[in-house]
Copies of this chain bind each other. A is one copy, B any other.
Amino acid sequence: MKISTAESVVMGALWAREPLSAEDIAADVAEGQGWSDATVKTLINRLLNKGAIAAERDGRRYLYRPLVAREAYVEAESQGLLDRLFDGKLAPLVSHFSQTGALTPEDIAELKKLIEGFEP
């Protein structure tokens, strides 16, 4: 199940708060994306069709909730990138970011703490 980037914005709203009506989603998402309500409705429907979210009737409208967990999505995306660009290895990725100067001292400190936590 492939979730497109536009669709993932809608998923983002549902991952943050759940369940939401179409109106809620549009409110959350239209700002910042500049989408019309119609666009949000289309995305909701595509997500429904591919089974990424579920709809449950609530009076005259539906409430939507995610069926795909955020973790699963993040996992698929980041593993894909790691495999495609870094031969599946994490260290080269970290090394890459260190070389492009994208690491603040806080990042480094946090990473260090993390890594030490891994040690048995």
Instruction: Identify the A interface with B (CB < 8 A).
Output: 5, 8, 74-75, 77-79, 81-82, 84-86, 89-91, 93-98, 100, 102-103, 107-108, 110-112, 114-115, 118-119
Residues of B near A96 (CB, < 8 A) are 74-75, 78
Residues of B near A108 (CB, < 8 A) are 115, 118-119
Distance (whole angstroms) from the CB of A2 to the closest CB of chain B: 12
- When A91-B110, A96-B74 are in contact, do A103 and B118 touch as well, CB less than 8 Å? yes
List the number of copies, as a whole number: 2
Structural contact, A85 and B74, CB atoms closer than 8 A? yes
Structural contact, A114 and B91, CB atoms closer than 8 A? yes
**Once bound together, how far apart are the Cα atoms of A5 and B103, in whole Å?**
27
Structural contact, A98 and B78, CB atoms closer than 8 A? no
Instruction: From the candidates B81, B89, B90, name the one contacting A77 in the complex (CB within 8 A).
Output: B81
Residues of B near A110 (CB, < 8 A) are 91
- When A84-B8, A96-B75, A96-B78 are in contact, do A90 and B115 touch as well, CB less than 8 Å? no
Structural contact, B81 and A78, CB atoms closer than 8 A? yes
Instruction: From the candidates B75, B84, B86, B114, name the one contacting A94 in the complex (CB within 8 A).
Output: B114
Residues of B near A86 (CB, < 8 A) are 74
